[in-house]
């Protein structure tokens, strides 16, 4: 096709170049927790907050690269017990509502009047909880792979649903659990991961996090599996995740985040969902979009859960570029 210029939409957008923080902070949020916070991009740019997944996942360098560094002031932080925040793996005073309060403390500490909020998977859950609690502090939302921690979503991943799509991996996941306890896989893992024996907890953390890695991509990614089961992070990440999932995200009702949409419907928003997302089934994003019809709902064909799948990355980058035009 020499001499022919393809339309822009046929050129998938790619991550911005690797970048290092221009500032880092240790923010004492009380309850014995100190959070690692970093800023990248343009200190005078459009403020945007990146919320990582998990819960308990922590930051990775690629997460800085969804934003034009010339136009955005990007704030990223490791949530309680995750990554470089301390104490690592702590479940003490570690709930969704503690994290919502932490975000506000960070915003005030950095002198940000209001910011765009970007979150995927568990990050989408936390973004919704924050925006509904502090709508005046939010200029817009970019959400990917929607997760509302409803019973149906938990059952899909830990009881009946994904066992039909991933039968071999499901058998590998449930193999460590005695047959008599397999009617409640989530509870069985939770008891062991948060039990008194650290050796038992570590033993069960590996298959737990392997399952999370397998269902997070359209095709299993050996590099992601190795990352999520690495010795130094596998136990705290597994414990925090089990803690939040077992407690239903610490919401007061199954529909709390859907019922709260009216508090933030005036905000511009983009909902990006992979059609074949195994981790966060598309019905959840559809339910959110139904309650929030003003949002730009984008169902991405031939894509799963991960933000690094090319089609998902493309939609995310295009969204941040559009918001830069809107908010700049």
Catalytic one of 121, 216, 306, 307: 121
Cα dist from 217 to 86, 213, 244, 277, 322, whole Å = 29, 7, 21, 8, 26
Concerning whether 121 is annotated as a catalytic residue, the answer is: yes
Catalytic one of 305, 306, 314, 315: 305
User: Which neighbouring-strand residues pair with 40?
Assistant: 74
Cα dist from 206 to 194, 201, 226, 234, 238, whole Å = 14, 9, 10, 6, 8
φ/ψ of 33, rounded to 5, equals: -100, 135
Catalytic one of 33, 277, 306, 315: 277
Concerning whether 277 is annotated as a catalytic residue, the answer is: yes
List the structure tokens of 82.
Answer: 């995750």
- Which residues touch 306 (CB under 8 Å, ≥6 apart)? 216, 217, 218, 221, 224, 312
The answer to whether 216 and 307 have CB atoms below 8 angstroms apart is no
The answer to whether 272 and 143 have CB atoms below 8 angstroms apart is yes
State the catalytic residues. 121, 277, 305
């Amino acid at each position: 096709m020499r001499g022919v210029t393809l339309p822009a939409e046929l050129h998938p957008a790619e991550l911005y170049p690797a970048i290092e923080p221009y500032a880092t902070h240790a923010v004492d949020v009380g309850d014995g927790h100190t959070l690692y916070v970093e800023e990248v991009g343009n200190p005078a740019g459009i403020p945007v907050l990146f919320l990582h997944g998990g819960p308990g996942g922590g930051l990775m360098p690629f997460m800085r690269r969804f934003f034009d560094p010339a136009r955005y002031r990007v704030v990223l932080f490791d949530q309680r017990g995750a990554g470089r925040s301390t104490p690592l793996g702590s479940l003490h005073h570690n709930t969704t509502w503690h994290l919502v309060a932490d975000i506000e403390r960070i915003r005030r500490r950095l002198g940000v009047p209001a910011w765009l909020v970007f979150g995927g998977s568990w990050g989408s859950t936390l973004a919704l909880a924050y925006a509904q609690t502090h709508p005046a502090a939010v200029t817009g939302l970019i959400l990917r792979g929607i997760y509302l921690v409803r019973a149906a979503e938990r059952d899909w991943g830990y009881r009946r649903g994904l066992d039909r799509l991933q039968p071999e991996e499901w058998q590998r996941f449930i193999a460590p659990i005695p047959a008599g306890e397999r009617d409640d896989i989530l509870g069985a893992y939770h008891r062991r991961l948060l039990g008194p024996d650290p050796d038992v907890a570590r033993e069960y953390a590996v298959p737990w996090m392997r399952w999370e890695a397998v269902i997070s991509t359209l095709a299993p990614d050996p590099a992601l599996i190795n990352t999520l089961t690495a010795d130094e992070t596998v136990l705290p990440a597994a414990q925090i995740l089990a803690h939040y999932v077992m407690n239903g995200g610490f919401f007061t009702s199954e529909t709390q985040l859907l019922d709260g949409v009216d508090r933030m419907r005036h905000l511009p928003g983009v909902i990006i969902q992979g059609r074949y997302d195994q981790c966060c089934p598309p019905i959840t994003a559809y339910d959110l979009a139904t309650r929030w019809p003003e949002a730009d709902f984008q169902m991405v064909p031939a894509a799963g859960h991960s933000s690094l799948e090319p089609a998902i990355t493309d939609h995310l980058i295009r969204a941040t570029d559009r918001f830069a035009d809107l908010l700049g």
